[in-house]
Structure 1
Amino acid sequence: MARRRMLFRSSHSTMIEIFSSTRLRALATVVSIAFASTTVAAQQSGSTNPPPGPADQPGPVIQLSLGDAARLAARQSAVALGARLRADEAQARVRERRADLLPNLSSYVQEAGRTFNTSTLGIDFPATPGNPPLFDPKGQVEGPVNTLDVRGRIEQNLLDFGAIGRVRQAQAQARSSNAEADATAEQAATVATNAYVRAMRADADLRARQADTLLATDLLRIAQSQLQAGTGVGLDVTRARAQLAATRAALIASRNGRDHAHLDLLRSLALPLGTDVALTDSLSPAATGEAIPDEATLVAQALRNRPDLIAEEQRIQAAKQGLSAIKAERLPSLGLVADDGVIGKNGAKMLNTYTWGLQVTLPIFDGFKREARVQEQQSVVKEAEIRRRDLEQQAQVDVRGALLDIANTREQVDAAAERLRLAEQEVTQARDRFNAGVAGNADVVNASLALTASRTLVNDAETAYQLARVSLARAIGSVTTIR
């Protein structure tokens, strides 16, 4: 009996020495495994994939925070640039409408010749007594008459209420387009911030899977050392190898998910796909302690600052201006037309001539076409007002929903952190029992699985909290100022 106790103490001390030396080799083993898998994958894909294109070439490393991603997407994403160009188009239409109120100047030079039938003059030339008629009473061809005409022409609307209304409508539409561009930029920023959060989630998941692999490798080394010392069994080694294989598979999948998340982030930022982006923010539990204003303040801010609400209000104003412009077409308009130049026969003797006139136009009846346009525009105004009321209600729902999500995810983060602490404690206790030789590694494997689930739960909770922050910023119209 004493011999068996001495053998157990000797084997246990040997196992501890092997364990202390092999723990240092565990991290190197994990790194070599990851490097080998990456090298093999690169060799396999190198023979089948085409050479990288210009968009796949390595680019400079960009240090990017969550707020930087929002502002970058709002500034250079495809949808934001397209919306800004549409705003420029609307501004150009303002200048187009304003041209109706400015002078229209033109000039021309005309050299022409014609013949005519004297019977079509509309004037009879009676013959004097004793003389033949000046022209054949049945008509005769005279000419050609060659003329050279050089002159300038001006047309000016002196007073046109309809044109003035159309200019104001175009200006309101330009303001609406600018507001829509801001709303589109806010949407692009929301997409980018969500992609950034998913990229942070993928990075955190990869770190968690690397930690799982390190723990599984450590467990395998302990099982092998105990088997060599005669204090372990082969089942523990097999179980440890199975656990390591499972964690390696999860690590490979996590690395692939991380790469996809970063591609999505680059796409949302309109950056070259070869750009190396370093995320300066992380899924930090400390962020859950920031102060959140009360609901009434946030709702008022949303109704005041949301770009989509501002854009809808501008659309209402543009529709009302269009209605006023149509009604103004019923009023009389005053215009000036004048030309001045020289005219002569074959350029031999050029004499100055001119024409001018004032024209007053008063619409009387157009088949009720204008009344139909008024009715149509009134419906456009009412439709825009309905959309605005709906957006105001949606803004309130978004704010309250985001506040509920933030409160809920804060509690989730705290609960997940507590579960992670207990899971780490469980792994430590199970491994101590396994190291002491009083239990197999089944408890360690089970505790490791619980630790993996706890790490995933923490990442999910922190991701949900960050997404709730983005949702609140979107609800109040401040995504581009998020930090």
Structure 2
Amino acid sequence: RTAQVAVSAARADVANAGDVAATQAANAYVRVLRGNAQLQARLADSTLARELLSIAQSQLEAGVGVALDVTRAQSELAGIRAQLISARNERDRAQLDFRRTLNLALDAPLELTDSLSSVVPENLALDQQTATARALHDRSDLRAADEQLRAARQTVSAIRTERLPSVSAFGDDGIIGGNANRMLPTYTYGIQLSLPIFDGFRREGRIQEQQAVTRELDVRRRDLEQQASVDVRGALLDLAAAREAVGASRDRLRFAEQEVSQAAERFRAGVAGNADVVNAAFTLNAARSQYVDVLTSLQMARVSLARSEGAVTQLR
């Protein structure tokens, strides 16, 4: 029985290691999605900057613009180009780390069917009591701790049973003799009773040692249970905050796009320079970056909640 309990504890440890690996893979996947989203945002900024530069150059050639507008647009485009290079590098590094996490060939092609916004959950249950109960029931580290504690207690029980008398039967049946023609049958049968009396207190020492191990495992089990509750509450707080931040960032992005559109119309009409457009483009750039960041935070919070509940391998 002790061996069976030890096997169960080993299986629980393997499951816990699998959850850790799945969490690392999920986080790496989110970082790849973030890299793709940042790159797309910078490409959109680059397209806008080239469009503004083209308008400024056209107005200068038509005699209705000033060279300062062209210079300002060129400076904006150069800055966006630097951000684009950085975003592409970040995306490539995230893909490299993702391949390494999954133990793929480092030059293996990646085709992701998801994006940060496409996997935004609409109806996530944020019931703390339900999530905590699920965590206490499903987390592999808690199951591993339970099995280890069970194995330690079983070992103590096994040592104590060594004090009990043991009964065994023995027997031997054969022939004996110095001459093949004069062999005599021989047999021995019996029952043996063994009664442990004194072993130099070695058994008591083993019991005390194993009881100390059991107490230590029990303390660790209670600490893991408390940590599981903390993990669930923290993940729920992060998830709720991220969902609210997504809504606020989405509004900011919409207003920034409207600001750019309105400023660009005034610039095309020749009633204003491109300073307002460039400022609006800066605002749009920041709004796009913030939107990507809050979407990333939301996905990371989903992974954290799934890990805290012991359901990271079921995450979709």
Q: TM-score, normalised by structure 1?
A: 0.61
- Greater percentage in helix: 2
- Identify the match of residue 261 of structure 2 among 423, 428, 441: 428
Inter-CA distance 344–256: structure 2 relative to 1 (3 Å threshold): farther
Q: Which position in structure 1 is the counterpart of 2:78? A: 245
**Does the aligned pair in 1 maintain the 2:172–2:189 contact within 8 Å?**
no
**Does the aligned pair in 2 maintain the 1:176–1:314 contact within 8 Å?**
yes
Inter-CA distance 259–367: structure 2 relative to 1 (3 Å threshold): same
The question of 1:472 aligning with 2:305 is answered: yes
Shift of 1:337: 6.1
**Does the aligned pair in 1 maintain the 2:39–2:88 contact within 8 Å?**
yes
Report the secondary structure of 1:278's partner residue: coil
Separation (CA, whole Å) in 2 of partners of 1:401 and 1:462: 18
Which AA in structure 2 matches 1:209? R
**Does the aligned pair in 2 maintain the 1:340–1:352 contact within 8 Å?**
no
Percent of residue pairs identical: 54
The question of 1:379 aligning with 2:223 is answered: no
Shift of 1:333: 3.2
- Greater percentage in strand: 1
Shift of 1:195: 0.9
- Identify the match of residue 302 of structure 1 among 110, 135, 142: 135
- Identify the match of residue 96 of structure 2 among 249, 254, 263: 263
Q: Which position in structure 1 is the counterpart of 2:58? A: 225
Q: Which position in structure 2 is the counterpart of 1:150? A: none
The question of 1:204 aligning with 2:34 is answered: no
**Does the aligned pair in 1 maintain the 2:126–2:236 contact within 8 Å?**
no
The structure with the largest alpha-carbon Rg is: 1
Q: Which position in structure 2 is the counterpart of 1:66? A: none
Map 1:410-425 onto structure 2 (within 5 A): 410-425=243-258
Separation (CA, whole Å) in 1 of partners of 2:33 and 2:46: 20
Report the secondary structure of 1:277's partner residue: coil
Inter-CA distance 320–215: structure 2 relative to 1 (3 Å threshold): same
Separation (CA, whole Å) in 2 of partners of 1:341 and 1:426: 106
**Does the aligned pair in 1 maintain the 2:242–2:294 contact within 8 Å?**
yes
Inter-CA distance 443–401: structure 2 relative to 1 (3 Å threshold): same
Separation (CA, whole Å) in 1 of partners of 2:177 and 2:256: 106
Separation (CA, whole Å) in 2 of partners of 1:352 and 1:207: 98
Shift of 1:351: 6.8
Aligned length: 315
Gaps of 5+ in 2: none
Shift of 1:289: 2.2
Map 1:77-156 onto structure 2 (within 5 A): none
Q: Which position in structure 2 is the counterpart of 1:311? A: 144
Deviations 1:75-134 (A, max 9, x none): xxxxxxxxxxxxxxxxxxxxxxxxxxxxxxxxxxxxxxxxxxxxxxxxxxxxxxxxxxxx
Separation (CA, whole Å) in 1 of partners of 2:186 and 2:214: 48
Q: Which position in structure 2 is the counterpart of 1:366? A: 199
Shift of 1:404: 1.1
The question of 1:448 aligning with 2:281 is answered: yes
Separation (CA, whole Å) in 2 of partners of 1:223 and 1:352: 122
Separation (CA, whole Å) in 1 of partners of 2:185 and 2:217: 55
Map 1:147-186 onto structure 2 (within 5 A): 168-186=1-19
Which gives a bigger RCO, structure 1 or 2 (Cα 8 Å, sep 6+)?
2
Inter-CA distance 349–281: structure 2 relative to 1 (3 Å threshold): farther
Shift of 1:456: 0.4
Shift of 1:414: 0.7
The question of 1:392 aligning with 2:228 is answered: no
Shift of 1:293: 4.6
Q: TM-score, normalised by structure 2?
A: 0.92
Inter-CA distance 415–285: structure 2 relative to 1 (3 Å threshold): farther
Q: Which position in structure 2 is the counterpart of 1:404? A: 237
Gaps of 5+ in 1: 1-167
Q: How much is the aligned-residue C-alpha RMSD, in angstroms? A: 2.4
